[in-house]
A and B are shown apart, each in its own frame.
Chain A
Amino acid sequence: MGEPVKTHCPYCALQCGMAISADRPRITITPRTDVPANAAGALCQKGWTAAELLTNGTRLTSPLLHGRPVDWDVALDHVADRLAAVQREHGPDGVAVFGGGGLTNEKAYLLGKLARVALGTSQIDYNGRFCMSSAAAASNRAFGLDRGLPFPVTDLAGADVVLLAGANPAETMPPLVRHLTGPRLIVVDPRRTATARLAWLHLRPAPGTDLALALGLLHLAVAEDLVDTAYVAGRTSGFDAVRTSLAAWWPERVERITGVPVPRMREAVRALAHAKNAYVLTGRGAEQHAQGTDTVTAFINLALALGLPGRRGSGYGCLTGQGNGQGGREHGQKADQLPGYRRIDDPAARAHVAGVWGVDPASLPGPGRSAFELLDALGTPDGPKAMLLFGSNPVVSAPASSRVASRLRALDLLVVCDVVMSETAALADVVFPVTQWAEETGTLTNLEGRVLLRRQAVEPPPGVRTDLDVIAALARRLGHDFPADPAQVFDELRRATAGGPADYSGITYPRLTAAPQPPHPGEPQDDAPLHGRAEPQGGALLRSGAEVRGGGDTQGGAHRQGREETQGGAHLQGRGEVGVFWPCPGAGHPGTPRLFLDSFATADGRARFVVVEHRGPAEEVDEEYPVYLTTGRVLAHYQSGAQTRRIAPLTEAEPEPYVELHPDLAARLEIGAGDRVRVTSRRGRAGGVARISDAIRSDTVFMPFHWEGTNLLTNPELDPTSRMPEFKVCAVRVERAT
């Protein structure tokens, strides 16, 4: 395979550009310099070592039936017969489907179609519920649309101040930090993370109190007359009710709840308000709570009060985690959703999608259970009796994971598609070996909402098929003809998303593979970083005259009505489309790098303030469980670790689970660095080696969740709106393991 193949990293939502040259047996990876996210040719250690995923010999290469290798037809027939039997006995909802945020758009779409058309079950959801669901719910109710970053990531570089709430990109997506060296960073995190060490101001709230902090910051913005009253009057609704609710959150009260001194809060609010350009960004730290949606809403309320969203060079955004965390939550693998980010209970949406699928709208099921509720119902009297699981490892990544594992065991049939024998695959009756990242073609939508194409660079090992093949083969056995070729699936997806909020209809494979052309002199560069806060402009006039739904800027050479466009210091080598920002409602449409510039996607075009109330952690510390536990990632590993724990340089960098304790707590518990530590919660017990550091608070311990164990401890209490479990705080007892 001569010319290196242009593709993207297999891991996080930044989707750094990389090229793979597969002159076997050596496969080498080099960073691309034409993808804005990592245009400086940056990669982190996971990206550099990704080739080992293809060569480290830990692959599944044959279907397994009760642990014994069998050929594909035997396994597929067995599964199809058992599915049909289960549905005969327990009805369509007797079969559940579980997806993941790492699946390509094509897989997520076809999985949703398999559930709704071939199986007719409402019982489908995915692990993105554990990742982005709170930010998605809060963005939808504020802006009428959820696209993680409603602007190109390169815009961040032009800001004066960026507030990061519960996000640690220096460890979770290091190349993103290159876009954050210009602005002053305000980091909100109980831990002094690698990102907090880069911060101009680090606010350290007690675990589970981010919402109170956000309410205190907004109280101060109102009290010090820093609210952008013209913006609030012109572009938002519902501020009065929020303003009234703030009277109960005076700074001194918030100080006592959060532990953040009032003077630090004042500094943060004044910096944000006086900045010409500012961003408020949230990550899992603010979102993975039983009040996660309200916490994100409180930060969105702050951003709206300061006039940031929908303004060039400023805004609110959330840092999506998984590779296709954005696309994965748009095309139908979510319990309440149809392709194009449509609601499954919306008659117009059902009519449109049923039309594309050639089925009667009434035949489409309604919404089903959310991820944890679905896992928790498996094998119970009125819960599903069989499950098809793609691209996920809930035995490690779900909260209260021992309970989840017992539910999985209680199934009559568990079918897992995976690349390696993950902890969840190990429980399966049938395992299908599927292709991964560089062995298949498909699109992903990165954290900017930019649809990118991953091209196949190497041949998969014999005996391995793509997830699309498995889905189509099962559908065929259930009497339905599904395409399995990625391009065909994508064309069907485009038609299904047409007219929906996440409209992909104008995006095609040829367009995504077109070589970027050199920049035309004088042509404005739309996804170049910007300097200077420009007022929202009048509607952009498009060459094709199509009205931009949901408002927003356009990419490419569209004519501007009197809109000055400063040529940012773009360091893009070739200009042209590296990926297309959705919505892209038609072939001629250039895509939408920046949303909400002219109006928000709500009925009246206004962004909505929502009143929220701080309640605190669902599980408070007490005498028996006196220490907070917070969980999170480390740089060298990714999600359940199923991939990274099998790569030598990464296990050398981070060999084993650890428990991070403050020196005072360690001294009191007589725990020394390197000792084995036992951590116990109401739900289970886990352990790790002790790491002593004052980066953590003395009333809290931190454990990474990339190994089986940590999530034995976490609290499955769910956010009432997003159904996100409370991963970020629970109460534990910590002891030296004897």
Chain B
Amino acid sequence: MRLVVVGNGMAGARLVSEVRARDRRMPITVFGAEPGGPYNRVLLSNVLAGQARPDQLGLHDLSWYDTHRVEAVPGSTVAWIDREARAVHTACGRREPYDLLVLATGSEAVVPPIPGVGRAIPFRTLDDCDRIIKAAEGGRRAVVVGGGLLGVEAARGLAGRGLPVTLLHLADHLMERQLDAEAGLVLGETLAGLGVEIRTGVSAAAVEDGGVRLAGGELVEGDLVVLACGVRPLTALAEEAGLEVRRGIVVDDELRTDDPSIMAIGECAEHDGTVYGLVAPAWEQAAVAADVITGGKSRYRGSRLVTRLKAKSVELAAMGETHLTDEHAEVVRFSHRARGTYRKLVIRDDRLVGAILLGDIDAVGTLTQLYDRGGPLPGDRAGLLFPGLSAAPETDSPTLMPDAAKVCHCNDVTKGQIRACWEAGARDVAGVAAATRATTGCGTCRDAVAGIVAWLCEQEGVSA
């Protein structure tokens, strides 16, 4: 069976390696619109922030394709699909037959239809990133249009390069899809402390030489304008081929379109009314698709969304339904705006259905896994927000320790036994060690034993 994949981005590249992991021989051809090998788009923000180099992003180097016998055709756009003949045709005239076709065309940056928008640089591809970094090196001030996840990361990255930045956002608070109002407010204050000026509830009317003209007429100065206004699924290829397309290419639980020999995954696909813009769902879909392609029984039932901001000295995690309030769910919140920390749990039928952690995120590991697995929650909700809060204090103060407490684990010696041999005449650590063998194993109980002996001597008014 010949497999053809259109799109060598995050979803397409992952599908190819997942299929090859299951089937060493299936002929695979993958077309990529961008030149060069596939790269990890998630890390673009780190490149923009100078935290990573472009050469660290490659998902497969070209030799991978040879050793795994996959034909990769970079810089080649597929123009149309001939569904009857089951073949795709590229812009440069190449015809490639398929038995199974997977569309992984991803999405494109939304460019607001406003005058002068050509002056602005979208933040979507590696080339965009290079252009922004070059402009930032010569720039005095930047403006980022769009305060979603990508816009916040871009603004923080540019500020990290020492460039004053203004972040413009249409909604009333930043990352309004993932955060509630208070979290958005705390995030804005945190970013302000890092050199990013926040302007919410504003819309860009035009891009001019001197900066961005707001709808109200005000000019926000900046000689570098970056667009982070969201993305739009690339579905033209599917539409022209007569496949069912709404916001994305509609797929079923096997990620098949209404043509059973054509599947779609990643940001161009719409499953159960949802188009996912994050990499985890794309990789989950790629795994299910690979299993289906190689005869497996997997089904895709949608993904649980965890958003994790990658911005230096700003720790933020958000997952699931974060907007529910006390009327619809059990909500546990802790807010300390002065320190820039905000924590929220959203609980329904004793399951974690949403969470926000901003500032100190020690609980992120436990919460993410509780959310992912839908596990039952402990009664003590506060312990979830503050791990270690409920941990029993381990007293090793000699006085408070009960007689039954084990002091030396290596030799199973309790405080009571130390007291007994002390009473029998062992008045120092060496004597206790000789009698009970305490302190002769790993040695870490030496201080505790010395403390007990000193305390016993004190009680008796005897010098140790």
Inter-chain CA distance A282–B443, complex, in Å, is 22
Which of B84-92, B334-342, B372-380 binds A?
Answer: B372-380
Inter-chain CA distance A175–B440, complex, in Å, is 8
Inter-chain CA distance A256–B379, complex, in Å, is 23
Q: Does B391 contact A (CB under 8 A)?
A: yes
Check A40/B59 contact, CB under 8 A, given A247-B40, A253-B280.
no
Inter-chain CA distance A724–B59, complex, in Å, is 30
Q: Does B235 contact A (CB under 8 A)?
A: no
Q: Does A610 contact B (CB under 8 A)?
A: no
What B residues does A698 contact at CB under 8 A? 375, 378
Contact code string A235-267 (vs B, CB < 8 Å = 1, else 0): 000001101101110101101101111110000
Q: Does B315 contact A (CB under 8 A)?
A: yes
Check A653/B64 contact, CB under 8 A, given A259-B369, A263-B315.
no
Chain A interface residue count, CB cutoff 8 Å, equals 57
Inter-chain CA distance A45–B441, complex, in Å, is 8
What B residues does A222 contact at CB under 8 A? 56
- Asked if A261 and B57 sit within 8 Å, CB to CB, the answer is no
Check A181/B443 contact, CB under 8 A, given A253-B280, A259-B365.
yes
How many cross-chain pairs have Cβ atoms below 8 Å apart between A and B? 132
- Asked if A43 and B441 sit within 8 Å, CB to CB, the answer is yes
- Asked if B443 and A243 sit within 8 Å, CB to CB, the answer is no
- Asked if A174 and B391 sit within 8 Å, CB to CB, the answer is no
What B residues does A570 contact at CB under 8 A? none
Inter-chain CA distance A408–B410, complex, in Å, is 36
Q: Does B43 contact A (CB under 8 A)?
A: yes
Contact code string A340-355 (vs B, CB < 8 Å = 1, else 0): 0000000000000000
Consensus secondary structure, chain B interface: loop
Check A48/B442 contact, CB under 8 A, given A206-B369, A248-B40, A258-B365.
no
- Asked if B409 and A223 sit within 8 Å, CB to CB, the answer is no
Within 8 Å by CB of A170, from B39, B364, B412, B444, lies B444
Inter-chain CA distance A222–B364, complex, in Å, is 24
- 24 A-B pairs whose Cβ atoms sit less than 8 Å apart in the complex: A42-B443, A44-B410, A44-B441, A45-B441, A170-B444, A171-B409, A175-B441, A176-B442, A178-B442, A194-B442, A206-B369, A241-B61, A241-B63, A247-B40, A247-B59, A248-B59, A253-B279, A255-B308, A255-B368, A256-B306, A262-B364, A635-B409, A663-B390, A699-B369
Q: Does B231 contact A (CB under 8 A)?
A: no
Inter-chain CA distance A194–B443, complex, in Å, is 13
Q: Does B302 contact A (CB under 8 A)?
A: no
What A residues does B298 contact at CB under 8 A? none
Within 8 Å by CB of B43, from A45, A198, A247, A649, lies A247
Contact code string B432-449 (vs A, CB < 8 Å = 1, else 0): 000001001111100000
Inter-chain CA distance A278–B376, complex, in Å, is 41
Inter-chain CA distance A171–B409, complex, in Å, is 8
- Asked if A174 and B58 sit within 8 Å, CB to CB, the answer is no
Inter-chain CA distance A225–B51, complex, in Å, is 9
Q: Does B125 contact A (CB under 8 A)?
A: no
Within 8 Å by CB of A621, from B58, B60, B373, B411, lies B373
Inter-chain CA distance A663–B409, complex, in Å, is 23
What B residues does A194 contact at CB under 8 A? 409, 442
Inter-chain CA distance A246–B56, complex, in Å, is 8
Task: Give residues 298-312 of B contacting A (CB, 8 Å).
Answer: 306, 308, 310
What A residues does B392 contact at CB under 8 A? 694
What A residues does B412 contact at CB under 8 A? 45, 636, 649, 652-653
Q: Does B29 contact A (CB under 8 A)?
A: no
What B residues does A241 contact at CB under 8 A? 61, 63
Check A31/B366 contact, CB under 8 A, given A223-B52, A256-B372, A261-B361.
no
Nearest to A240 among chain B residues (CB) is: B61
Within 8 Å by CB of B361, from A41, A263, A664, lies A263
- Hey, which bits of chain A sit against chain B, CB under 8 A? 31, 40-45, 48, 169-171, 174-178, 181, 194, 198, 204, 206, 222-224, 240-241, 243-244, 246-248, 250, 252-253, 255-256, 258-263, 613, 621, 626, 635-636, 649, 652-653, 663-664, 667-668, 694, 698-699
> Closest CB-CB distance, B448 to chain A, in whole Å?
13
> Closest CB-CB distance, B446 to chain A, in whole Å?
10
Interface range on chain B (Cβ under 8 Å from partner) = 35 or more
- Hey, which bits of chain B sit against chain A, CB under 8 A? 21, 39-40, 42-43, 46, 51-52, 56-61, 63-64, 279-280, 306, 308, 310, 315, 361-362, 364-366, 368-369, 372-373, 375-376, 378-380, 390-392, 409-412, 437, 440-444
Nearest to B61 among chain A residues (CB) is: A244
Inter-chain CA distance A699–B373, complex, in Å, is 10
Nearest to B361 among chain A residues (CB) is: A261
- Asked if B442 and A252 sit within 8 Å, CB to CB, the answer is no
> Closest CB-CB distance, B350 to chain A, in whole Å?
9
> Closest CB-CB distance, A545 to chain B, in whole Å?
43
> Closest CB-CB distance, B290 to chain A, in whole Å?
14
> Closest CB-CB distance, A173 to chain B, in whole Å?
9
Within 8 Å by CB of B410, from A45, A204, A255, A668, lies A45
What A residues does B63 contact at CB under 8 A? 241
What B residues does A198 contact at CB under 8 A? 444
> Closest CB-CB distance, A198 to chain B, in whole Å?
6
Within 8 Å by CB of B375, from A43, A253, A649, A699, lies A699
- Asked if A694 and B442 sit within 8 Å, CB to CB, the answer is no
What A residues does B43 contact at CB under 8 A? 247, 250
Within 8 Å by CB of A42, from B368, B373, B379, B441, lies B441
> Closest CB-CB distance, A718 to chain B, in whole Å?
18
Q: In the complex, given contacts A45-B437, A255-B368, what are 9 additional A-B residue pairs having Cβ atoms less than 8 angstroms apart? A: A175-B441, A177-B443, A241-B63, A252-B308, A255-B365, A259-B369, A649-B412, A664-B378, A694-B390
> Closest CB-CB distance, A737 to chain B, in whole Å?
21
Check A31/B40 contact, CB under 8 A, given A635-B410, A694-B392.
no
Interface centre among A45, A224, A243, A261 (most CB of B within 10 A): A261
Inter-chain CA distance A181–B21, complex, in Å, is 44
What B residues does A255 contact at CB under 8 A? 308, 364-365, 368
Nearest to B40 among chain A residues (CB) is: A247
Nearest to A194 among chain B residues (CB) is: B409
What B residues does A699 contact at CB under 8 A? 369, 373, 375
> Closest CB-CB distance, A127 to chain B, in whole Å?
26
Shortest Cβ-Cβ A-B pairs, 8 listed: A259-B365, A664-B378, A177-B442, A653-B412, A174-B442, A174-B441, A252-B308, A174-B410
> Closest CB-CB distance, A338 to chain B, in whole Å?
33
What B residues does A176 contact at CB under 8 A? 442
Inter-chain CA distance A250–B315, complex, in Å, is 15
Inter-chain CA distance A48–B366, complex, in Å, is 41
Nearest to A173 among chain B residues (CB) is: B442
> Closest CB-CB distance, B297 to chain A, in whole Å?
15
Nearest to B306 among chain A residues (CB) is: A256
- Asked if A48 and B390 sit within 8 Å, CB to CB, the answer is no
- Asked if A261 and B365 sit within 8 Å, CB to CB, the answer is yes
Nearest to B372 among chain A residues (CB) is: A256
Inter-chain CA distance A652–B379, complex, in Å, is 35
What B residues does A635 contact at CB under 8 A? 409-410
- Asked if B440 and A31 sit within 8 Å, CB to CB, the answer is yes
